[in-house]
């Protein structure tokens, strides 16, 4: 059974801290790994990592894919209150259908 | 820039009632998806449509039906609502990756 597991499930930090969110997966047919940020409503896309693109960075956020360890991390440096959200990791398991398997999500709260 | 539009945003039903959730996208995407989100469980795929005219079951299809009405629209139907179907429902669409999500429908079954 395909499975994606995120840790920790929740995290509370103070502004300025650096956080690392983890995502591990066991799937039969890996195509890509995606990170999403979800505030009040729709999840919004952050990064997509594939075998040919294992590291992505945008501003204070960065992500790395470790295909050997079947895992990925999402780093956020110098956190701000606006980073408070649920962070979702998903693995694409089929190129024909685009199906994603999501982890449980990590709820991040950044306190002023 | 409408993207993915879901209606309604909120709905309260009684057990046994039926309901159709509507989803439309204006990005000319081939694939569309329905998910449900419950606390602590991330997003779980209910049904998907890889292209117009096709639909397939996801992880949790029981109690639901779908219709891909045309390339733009993909609806989700609850024939006889149960309290276990209380959830937030998201529709998504994609050409490849990433998937683009609507704002969700919060559904409560009493």
Total residue length of chain B: 110
The distance of A109 to chain B (nearest Cα, Å) reads 15
pLDDT for the residue numbered B2: 76
If you compute the radius of gyration of chain A from its CA atoms, what whole number of angstroms results?
14
The answer to whether the CB of A107 falls within 8 A of the CB of A21 is no
Distance CA A96, CA A107 (A): 31
B12: three-class secondary structure by DSSP: strand
Contact A104 B42 (CB under 8 A): yes
Spell out the per-residue pLDDT of chain A, length 112, in tens: 899 999 999 999 999 999 999 999 999 889 999 999 999 889 999 999 998 778 999 999 999 999 888 999 999 999 999 999 999 999 998 777 889 999 999 999 999 9
Residue A57: count other Cβ atoms within 10 Å of its Cβ: 11
In B, residues 42-81, which contact A (CB 8 Å cutoff)?
A: 42-45, 48, 50, 56, 58-59
Distance CA A34, CA A23 (A): 10
Partners of B102 on chain A (C-beta within 8 Å) are 42
């Amino acid at each position: 059974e395909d499975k994606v597991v995120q840790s920790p499930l929740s995290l509370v930090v103070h502004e300025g801290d650096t956080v690392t969110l983890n995502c591990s997966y066991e799937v039969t047919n890996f195509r890509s790994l995606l990170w999403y940020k979800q505030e009040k409503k729709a999840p919004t896309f952050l990064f997509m990592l594939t075998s040919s693109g294992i590291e992505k960075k945008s501003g204070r956020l960065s992500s790395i894919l470790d295909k050997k360890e079947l895992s990925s991390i999402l780093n956020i440096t110098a956190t701000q209150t606006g980073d408070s959200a649920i962070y979702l990791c998903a693995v694409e398991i089929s190129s024909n259908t685009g199906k994603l398997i999501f982890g449980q999500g990590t709820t991040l709260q950044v306190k002023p | 820039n409408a993207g993915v539009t879901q209606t309604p945003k909120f709905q309260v039903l009684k057990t046994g009632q039926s309901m159709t959730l509507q989803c439309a996208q204006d990005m000319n995407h081939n694939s569309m998806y329905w998910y449900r989100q419950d606390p602590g469980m991330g997003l779980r795929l209910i049904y998907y449509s890889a292209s117009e005219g096709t639909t397939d079951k996801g992880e949790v299809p029981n109690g639901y039906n779908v219709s891909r009405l045309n390339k733009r629209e993909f609806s989700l139907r609850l024939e006889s609502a149960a309290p276990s179907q209380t959830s937030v429902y998201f529709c998504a669409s994609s050409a490849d990756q990433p998937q683009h999500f609507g704002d969700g429908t919060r559904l409560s079954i009493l």
